[in-house]
Chain A
Protein backbone atom coordinates (compact mmCIF):
# COMPACT_ATOMS: atom_id res chain seq x y z
CA UNK A 1 0.00 0.00 0.00
CA UNK A 2 2.71 2.37 1.11
CA UNK A 3 4.92 1.55 -1.84
CA UNK A 4 1.99 2.27 -4.19
CA UNK A 5 1.73 5.74 -2.78
CA UNK A 6 5.47 6.26 -3.06
CA UNK A 7 5.35 5.08 -6.66
CA UNK A 8 2.56 7.52 -7.50
CA UNK A 9 4.46 10.41 -5.98
CA UNK A 10 7.77 9.38 -7.56
CA UNK A 11 6.10 8.78 -10.90
CA UNK A 12 4.57 12.22 -10.95
CA UNK A 13 7.78 13.84 -9.71
CA UNK A 14 9.69 12.26 -12.62
CA UNK A 15 6.96 12.61 -15.25
CA UNK A 16 5.64 15.95 -13.95
CA UNK A 17 8.01 18.41 -15.67
CA UNK A 18 7.44 16.75 -19.03
CA UNK A 19 3.69 16.64 -18.40
CA UNK A 20 3.51 20.38 -17.66
CA UNK A 21 5.38 21.22 -20.87
CA UNK A 22 3.41 18.69 -22.90
CA UNK A 23 0.19 20.21 -21.63
CA UNK A 24 1.24 23.79 -22.34
CA UNK A 25 2.81 23.29 -25.74
CA UNK A 26 1.14 20.19 -27.19
CA UNK A 27 -2.18 19.21 -25.58
CA UNK A 28 -3.47 22.75 -25.13
CA UNK A 29 -2.50 23.91 -28.65
CA UNK A 30 -4.04 20.76 -30.12
CA UNK A 31 -7.27 21.29 -28.18
CA UNK A 32 -7.35 25.01 -29.08
CA UNK A 33 -6.72 24.19 -32.74
CA UNK A 34 -9.79 21.95 -32.79
CA UNK A 35 -11.90 24.55 -30.94
CA UNK A 36 -10.72 27.48 -33.08
CA UNK A 37 -11.46 25.51 -36.23
CA UNK A 38 -15.19 25.97 -35.48
CA UNK A 39 -14.85 29.75 -34.96
CA UNK A 40 -13.98 32.80 -37.02
CA UNK A 41 -11.15 33.72 -34.63
CA UNK A 42 -9.12 36.56 -36.14
CA UNK A 43 -5.99 37.18 -34.09
CA UNK A 44 -5.94 40.94 -34.65
CA UNK A 45 -9.47 41.27 -33.28
CA UNK A 46 -10.09 38.37 -30.87
CA UNK A 47 -13.15 40.02 -29.25
CA UNK A 48 -15.28 39.52 -32.35
CA UNK A 49 -15.01 35.75 -32.31
CA UNK A 50 -18.11 33.71 -33.13
CA UNK A 51 -18.90 30.05 -33.28
CA UNK A 52 -19.39 29.29 -36.97
CA UNK A 53 -19.85 25.54 -36.96
CA UNK A 54 -18.39 23.79 -39.97
CA UNK A 55 -18.19 26.94 -42.09
CA UNK A 56 -14.35 26.99 -42.11
CA UNK A 57 -14.29 23.43 -43.34
CA UNK A 58 -16.70 24.08 -46.19
CA UNK A 59 -14.89 27.36 -47.01
CA UNK A 60 -11.56 25.60 -47.30
CA UNK A 61 -12.70 23.34 -50.07
CA UNK A 62 -14.13 26.29 -52.00
CA UNK A 63 -10.92 28.29 -51.49
CA UNK A 64 -8.99 28.35 -54.74
CA UNK A 65 -5.61 28.91 -53.09
CA UNK A 66 -6.10 25.94 -50.77
CA UNK A 67 -7.06 23.74 -53.72
CA UNK A 68 -3.94 24.90 -55.59
CA UNK A 69 -1.82 24.24 -52.51
CA UNK A 70 -3.39 20.81 -52.13
CA UNK A 71 -2.68 19.74 -55.71
CA UNK A 72 0.85 21.16 -55.58
CA UNK A 73 1.48 19.10 -52.46
CA UNK A 74 0.11 16.00 -54.19
CA UNK A 75 2.51 16.66 -57.09
CA UNK A 76 5.42 16.96 -54.65
CA UNK A 77 4.40 13.66 -53.06
CA UNK A 78 4.06 11.93 -56.44
CA UNK A 79 7.61 12.92 -57.42
CA UNK A 80 9.38 12.64 -54.08
CA UNK A 81 7.93 9.40 -52.69
CA UNK A 82 8.81 7.00 -55.51
CA UNK A 83 12.15 8.67 -56.23
CA UNK A 84 13.27 8.80 -52.62
CA UNK A 85 12.01 5.34 -51.59
CA UNK A 86 13.38 3.53 -54.62
CA UNK A 87 16.54 5.63 -54.64
CA UNK A 88 17.24 4.83 -51.01
CA UNK A 89 16.55 1.12 -51.54
CA UNK A 90 18.76 1.02 -54.64
CA UNK A 91 21.64 2.81 -52.92
CA UNK A 92 21.37 0.56 -49.86
CA UNK A 93 21.43 -2.59 -52.03
CA UNK A 94 24.47 -1.37 -53.97
CA UNK A 95 26.39 -0.23 -50.89
CA UNK A 96 25.56 -3.46 -49.07
CA UNK A 97 27.22 -5.38 -51.94
CA UNK A 98 30.26 -3.10 -52.16
CA UNK A 99 33.44 -4.59 -50.72
CA UNK A 100 35.63 -1.52 -50.30
CA UNK A 101 34.95 2.09 -49.26
CA UNK A 102 31.64 1.09 -47.67
CA UNK A 103 32.12 3.69 -44.98
CA UNK A 104 32.90 6.42 -47.55
CA UNK A 105 29.72 5.65 -49.52
CA UNK A 106 27.56 5.77 -46.41
CA UNK A 107 29.03 9.15 -45.45
CA UNK A 108 28.88 10.59 -48.98
CA UNK A 109 25.19 9.88 -49.49
CA UNK A 110 24.31 10.93 -45.94
CA UNK A 111 26.03 14.36 -45.90
CA UNK A 112 23.07 16.32 -47.38
CA UNK A 113 20.84 14.91 -44.61
CA UNK A 114 22.72 16.77 -41.87
CA UNK A 115 22.71 20.03 -43.85
CA UNK A 116 19.82 22.33 -43.02
CA UNK A 117 16.84 22.99 -45.30
CA UNK A 118 17.77 26.68 -45.41
CA UNK A 119 21.38 25.96 -46.39
CA UNK A 120 20.42 23.42 -49.03
CA UNK A 121 17.77 25.78 -50.42
CA UNK A 122 20.25 28.66 -50.64
CA UNK A 123 22.87 26.43 -52.24
CA UNK A 124 20.48 25.09 -54.89
CA UNK A 125 19.22 28.58 -55.67
CA UNK A 126 22.79 29.24 -56.87
CA UNK A 127 22.95 25.91 -58.68
CA UNK A 128 19.59 26.44 -60.40
CA UNK A 129 20.33 30.07 -61.31
CA UNK A 130 19.97 30.94 -65.04
CA UNK A 131 23.74 31.36 -65.44
CA UNK A 132 24.46 28.82 -62.74
CA UNK A 133 26.63 25.73 -62.66
CA UNK A 134 23.82 23.35 -63.64
CA UNK A 135 22.93 25.29 -66.79
CA UNK A 136 26.64 25.52 -67.63
CA UNK A 137 26.96 21.75 -67.26
CA UNK A 138 23.86 21.20 -69.40
CA UNK A 139 25.32 23.51 -72.07
CA UNK A 140 28.42 21.27 -72.19
CA UNK A 141 26.26 18.34 -73.28
CA UNK A 142 24.25 20.48 -75.69
CA UNK A 143 21.10 21.17 -73.70
CA UNK A 144 19.81 24.74 -73.76
CA UNK A 145 19.48 26.77 -70.55
CA UNK A 146 16.51 25.88 -68.36
CA UNK A 147 14.67 28.37 -66.10
CA UNK A 148 14.31 25.82 -63.22
CA UNK A 149 12.87 27.56 -60.12
CA UNK A 150 12.04 30.69 -62.13
CA UNK A 151 9.28 29.10 -64.20
CA UNK A 152 5.86 27.91 -63.07
CA UNK A 153 6.34 24.61 -64.93
CA UNK A 154 9.78 23.67 -63.64
CA UNK A 155 9.85 25.17 -60.14
CA UNK A 156 7.99 22.32 -58.44
CA UNK A 157 9.95 19.44 -59.98
CA UNK A 158 13.21 21.35 -59.38
CA UNK A 159 12.47 21.70 -55.67
CA UNK A 160 11.25 18.10 -55.50
CA UNK A 161 14.50 16.79 -57.01
CA UNK A 162 16.52 18.87 -54.57
CA UNK A 163 14.47 17.46 -51.67
CA UNK A 164 15.10 13.90 -52.82
CA UNK A 165 18.81 14.69 -53.06
CA UNK A 166 18.78 15.95 -49.51
CA UNK A 167 16.61 13.24 -47.96
CA UNK A 168 17.54 10.00 -49.72
CA UNK A 169 20.54 9.28 -47.46
CA UNK A 170 18.32 9.03 -44.38
CA UNK A 171 16.18 6.22 -45.76
CA UNK A 172 19.27 4.61 -47.27
CA UNK A 173 20.68 4.22 -43.75
CA UNK A 174 17.38 2.72 -42.56
CA UNK A 175 17.42 0.20 -45.43
CA UNK A 176 21.09 -0.64 -44.78
CA UNK A 177 20.18 -1.39 -41.15
CA UNK A 178 17.40 -3.66 -42.39
CA UNK A 179 19.67 -5.44 -44.88
CA UNK A 180 22.29 -6.12 -42.23
CA UNK A 181 19.61 -7.60 -39.95
CA UNK A 182 18.69 -10.30 -42.50
CA UNK A 183 19.95 -13.69 -41.40
CA UNK A 184 22.90 -14.61 -43.70
CA UNK A 185 21.92 -18.29 -43.40
CA UNK A 186 18.97 -17.53 -45.71
CA UNK A 187 21.37 -16.48 -48.49
CA UNK A 188 23.70 -19.42 -47.83
CA UNK A 189 20.78 -21.81 -48.23
CA UNK A 190 19.81 -20.06 -51.45
CA UNK A 191 23.39 -20.35 -52.76
CA UNK A 192 23.24 -24.11 -52.16
CA UNK A 193 20.04 -24.24 -54.22
CA UNK A 194 21.85 -22.29 -56.98
CA UNK A 195 19.32 -19.47 -56.76
CA UNK A 196 20.17 -16.55 -59.03
CA UNK A 197 20.90 -13.10 -57.63
CA UNK A 198 17.48 -11.92 -58.84
CA UNK A 199 15.74 -14.89 -57.18
CA UNK A 200 17.57 -14.20 -53.93
CA UNK A 201 16.49 -10.57 -54.09
CA UNK A 202 12.89 -11.45 -54.91
CA UNK A 203 12.46 -14.33 -52.45
CA UNK A 204 14.64 -13.27 -49.51
CA UNK A 205 15.63 -9.60 -49.53
CA UNK A 206 12.33 -8.08 -50.58
CA UNK A 207 10.04 -10.08 -48.23
CA UNK A 208 12.42 -9.50 -45.31
CA UNK A 209 12.51 -5.76 -46.02
CA UNK A 210 8.78 -5.40 -46.60
CA UNK A 211 7.82 -3.91 -43.19
CA UNK A 212 10.71 -1.46 -43.54
CA UNK A 213 9.59 -0.55 -47.08
CA UNK A 214 6.11 0.26 -45.77
CA UNK A 215 7.60 2.32 -42.96
CA UNK A 216 9.89 4.26 -45.31
CA UNK A 217 7.11 4.73 -47.86
CA UNK A 218 4.75 6.22 -45.27
CA UNK A 219 7.34 8.40 -43.50
CA UNK A 220 8.55 9.82 -46.82
CA UNK A 221 4.94 10.47 -47.80
CA UNK A 222 4.25 12.33 -44.55
CA UNK A 223 7.55 14.20 -44.95
CA UNK A 224 6.63 15.26 -48.49
CA UNK A 225 3.21 16.44 -47.33
CA UNK A 226 4.99 18.64 -44.76
CA UNK A 227 6.96 20.51 -47.45
CA UNK A 228 7.27 24.23 -46.61
CA UNK A 229 10.79 25.58 -45.94
CA UNK A 230 12.25 24.87 -49.39
CA UNK A 231 9.57 26.78 -51.37
CA UNK A 232 9.52 29.45 -48.65
CA UNK A 233 13.23 30.16 -49.07
CA UNK A 234 13.61 29.50 -52.80
CA UNK A 235 10.46 30.76 -54.49
CA UNK A 236 8.14 32.21 -51.83
CA UNK A 237 5.57 29.72 -53.11
CA UNK A 238 5.78 31.04 -56.67
CA UNK A 239 6.04 31.60 -59.55
CA UNK A 240 2.25 32.17 -59.62
CA UNK A 241 1.71 29.87 -56.62
CA UNK A 242 3.16 26.88 -58.45
CA UNK A 243 5.14 25.76 -55.37
CA UNK A 244 2.66 26.86 -52.70
CA UNK A 245 1.99 23.88 -50.41
CA UNK A 246 -0.60 22.83 -47.82
CA UNK A 247 1.58 23.55 -44.81
CA UNK A 248 2.67 26.82 -46.41
CA UNK A 249 -1.00 27.77 -46.69
CA UNK A 250 -1.66 26.84 -43.03
CA UNK A 251 1.37 28.92 -42.02
CA UNK A 252 0.47 31.99 -44.09
CA UNK A 253 -3.22 31.87 -43.16
CA UNK A 254 -2.30 31.68 -39.48
CA UNK A 255 0.79 33.82 -38.99
CA UNK A 256 0.55 36.30 -41.88
CA UNK A 257 -3.21 36.79 -42.39
CA UNK A 258 -4.01 35.99 -38.74
CA UNK A 259 -7.12 33.98 -39.74
CA UNK A 260 -6.61 31.50 -36.91
CA UNK A 261 -10.03 29.89 -37.32
CA UNK A 262 -9.43 29.04 -40.95
CA UNK A 263 -5.81 27.98 -40.38
CA UNK A 264 -6.93 25.71 -37.54
CA UNK A 265 -9.47 23.96 -39.75
CA UNK A 266 -6.72 23.36 -42.33
CA UNK A 267 -4.43 22.02 -39.59
CA UNK A 268 -7.15 19.65 -38.33
CA UNK A 269 -7.69 18.26 -41.83
CA UNK A 270 -3.94 17.87 -42.27
CA UNK A 271 -3.49 16.00 -38.96
CA UNK A 272 -6.41 13.68 -39.72
CA UNK A 273 -4.76 12.93 -43.03
CA UNK A 274 -1.42 12.15 -41.37
CA UNK A 275 -3.15 9.92 -38.81
CA UNK A 276 -4.89 7.98 -41.58
CA UNK A 277 -1.54 7.39 -43.28
CA UNK A 278 0.00 6.21 -40.00
CA UNK A 279 -2.89 3.81 -39.39
CA UNK A 280 -2.51 2.39 -42.90
CA UNK A 281 1.17 1.84 -42.17
CA UNK A 282 0.59 0.05 -38.87
CA UNK A 283 -2.14 -2.13 -40.40
CA UNK A 284 0.13 -3.11 -43.30
CA UNK A 285 3.12 -3.92 -41.07
CA UNK A 286 1.01 -5.73 -38.44
CA UNK A 287 -0.46 -7.91 -41.18
CA UNK A 288 3.02 -8.85 -42.27
CA UNK A 289 4.16 -9.69 -38.75
CA UNK A 290 1.10 -11.83 -38.10
CA UNK A 291 1.90 -13.84 -41.22
CA UNK A 292 5.56 -14.31 -40.37
CA UNK A 293 4.60 -15.38 -36.85
CA UNK A 294 2.12 -17.85 -38.27
CA UNK A 295 4.87 -19.36 -40.40
CA UNK A 296 7.04 -19.95 -37.37
Chain B
Protein backbone atom coordinates (compact mmCIF):
# COMPACT_ATOMS: atom_id res chain seq x y z
CA UNK B 1 0.00 0.00 0.00
CA UNK B 2 1.68 3.17 -1.12
CA UNK B 3 1.58 6.47 0.66
CA UNK B 4 0.59 9.34 -1.54
CA UNK B 5 3.52 11.67 -1.95
CA UNK B 6 1.64 14.43 -3.71
CA UNK B 7 -0.83 16.88 -2.38
CA UNK B 8 -3.86 15.67 -4.25
CA UNK B 9 -7.14 14.69 -2.73
CA UNK B 10 -9.26 11.69 -3.80
CA UNK B 11 -10.69 13.54 -6.81
CA UNK B 12 -7.26 14.49 -8.02
CA UNK B 13 -7.74 18.14 -7.14
CA UNK B 14 -4.75 19.99 -5.79
CA UNK B 15 -4.95 20.68 -2.10
CA UNK B 16 -3.35 23.99 -1.20
CA UNK B 17 -0.20 23.50 0.84
CA UNK B 18 -1.33 25.69 3.72
CA UNK B 19 -4.65 23.86 4.21
CA UNK B 20 -2.99 20.44 4.50
CA UNK B 21 -3.87 18.86 7.81
CA UNK B 22 -1.08 18.26 10.32
CA UNK B 23 -2.15 14.64 10.13
CA UNK B 24 -1.94 14.08 6.40
CA UNK B 25 -0.35 10.85 5.20
CA UNK B 26 3.08 12.37 4.66
CA UNK B 27 3.13 13.82 8.16
CA UNK B 28 1.93 10.51 9.61
CA UNK B 29 4.65 8.67 7.67
CA UNK B 30 7.21 11.12 9.03
CA UNK B 31 6.08 10.72 12.65
CA UNK B 32 5.82 6.94 12.32
CA UNK B 33 9.32 6.59 10.90
CA UNK B 34 10.66 8.87 13.65
CA UNK B 35 9.13 6.50 16.21
CA UNK B 36 10.45 3.40 14.43
CA UNK B 37 13.88 4.93 14.13
CA UNK B 38 14.00 5.52 17.89
CA UNK B 39 12.43 2.17 18.76
CA UNK B 40 14.72 0.09 16.56
CA UNK B 41 17.74 2.38 16.71
CA UNK B 42 17.91 2.51 12.91
CA UNK B 43 18.27 5.51 10.56
CA UNK B 44 15.08 6.80 8.96
CA UNK B 45 16.48 6.09 5.50
CA UNK B 46 15.75 2.39 6.16
CA UNK B 47 12.03 2.98 6.09
CA UNK B 48 9.81 3.25 3.02
CA UNK B 49 6.04 2.86 2.62
CA UNK B 50 6.49 -0.66 1.25
CA UNK B 51 8.88 -1.77 4.03
CA UNK B 52 7.45 -4.94 5.55
CA UNK B 53 7.18 -4.52 9.33
CA UNK B 54 8.10 -8.05 10.29
CA UNK B 55 10.05 -9.38 7.30
CA UNK B 56 12.22 -6.31 6.72
CA UNK B 57 12.52 -4.95 10.25
CA UNK B 58 13.65 -6.59 13.50
CA UNK B 59 10.35 -5.64 15.18
CA UNK B 60 9.28 -8.03 17.96
CA UNK B 61 5.78 -8.22 19.42
CA UNK B 62 6.60 -6.02 22.43
CA UNK B 63 8.07 -3.33 20.16
CA UNK B 64 5.01 -3.57 17.93
CA UNK B 65 2.79 -2.86 20.94
CA UNK B 66 5.09 -0.04 22.08
CA UNK B 67 4.54 1.49 18.66
CA UNK B 68 0.76 0.93 18.85
CA UNK B 69 0.44 2.45 22.34
CA UNK B 70 2.57 5.46 21.33
CA UNK B 71 0.57 5.97 18.13
CA UNK B 72 -2.71 5.80 20.07
CA UNK B 73 -1.45 8.49 22.45
CA UNK B 74 0.08 10.66 19.72
CA UNK B 75 -3.02 10.61 17.49
CA UNK B 76 -5.69 10.13 20.17
CA UNK B 77 -7.08 7.06 18.41
CA UNK B 78 -7.98 3.47 19.36
CA UNK B 79 -6.22 0.74 17.41
CA UNK B 80 -7.90 -2.66 17.68
CA UNK B 81 -6.02 -5.94 17.79
CA UNK B 82 -7.81 -6.96 14.58
CA UNK B 83 -6.50 -3.84 12.84
CA UNK B 84 -2.97 -4.63 14.03
CA UNK B 85 -3.22 -8.13 12.60
CA UNK B 86 -4.12 -6.71 9.17
CA UNK B 87 -1.09 -4.44 8.75
CA UNK B 88 1.97 -5.67 6.90
CA UNK B 89 3.85 -2.61 5.69
CA UNK B 90 4.69 0.84 7.03
CA UNK B 91 2.27 2.20 4.41
CA UNK B 92 -0.51 0.04 5.89
CA UNK B 93 0.11 1.61 9.32
CA UNK B 94 -0.01 5.12 7.80
CA UNK B 95 -3.30 4.22 6.09
CA UNK B 96 -4.73 2.78 9.31
CA UNK B 97 -3.91 5.94 11.29
CA UNK B 98 -5.16 8.22 8.52
CA UNK B 99 -8.48 6.34 8.38
CA UNK B 100 -8.82 6.35 12.18
CA UNK B 101 -8.26 10.13 12.21
CA UNK B 102 -10.72 10.85 9.39
Q: Do the two chains bind? A: no
